[in-house]
Structure 1
Amino acid sequence: MPKVPQPVTDDSIKVRQVNHYQFSWVAGEPGRPGTFTLQLVLDEGAWEEVLTVGADDADVLQDLLANTKTVHYDVSRRTLMFGVTSTGK
């Protein structure tokens, strides 16, 4: 049996399920583009993450988040993972 470091804490959990998300837009300086952020609520609020994204990425991510039933986020790699597929399918 593998040895699991103890204690297991919130900081030691690396992959979490996305439960809610919210896009925000912050205005830039006059004549400059604004900035989009994406706030992720993970594991029913046990963890939150805020990502800065470009307009094109925000558009794609909105579609993926709205149309994918299960989404996970790898905290240490800052990676969103969309969908779950059974092996052998």
Structure 2
Amino acid sequence: MADDSQDLIKVREVTDIHSNWSEHGSGEPGKFSFQLILDDGAEEAVIRPSAKSAKVLVGEFTAGKSFYYDTDREVLLLRDLE
């Protein structure tokens, strides 16, 4: 019998987002990260996009009404974008 547990998708609602930027040496480009609070603190995930992707994500976070994160595949799902 095959193990179906690998086929399950574990998706949690993003209930809060914390953003961060940190310097990595004088004159060096900094690093962005977003801490995703999932299901009111049941779990957390951190994503570290490039500066260009971070700019796009901020726009998506502003335009979206709900977000979900697939913790197994590390995929951010955006719904109801305006």
Query: Which band: TM-score by shorter chain?
Result: 0.7 to 0.9
Which structure 1 residue ranges, 4+ long, deviate > 6 Å from structure 2? none
Structure number with greater Rg is: 1
Q: Take 1:64 and 1:57, find their aligned partners in 2: how far apart are those partners?
A: 10
Provide structure 2 residue ranges, at least 5 long, that are not aligned to the other structure: none
5 Å matches for 1:3-82?
14-82=10-78
Per-residue Cα deviation, 1:11-58 (whole angstroms, up to 9, x for no partner): x87100011101100101122111001100010110111111111111
Q: Count residues with an aligned counterpart.
A: 75
In structure 1, give the amino acid aligned to 2:30: G
- The CA RMSD measured in Å over matched residues stands at 1.9
> Between the two proteins, what is the percent identity of the paired residues?
36
TM-score by length of 1: 0.75
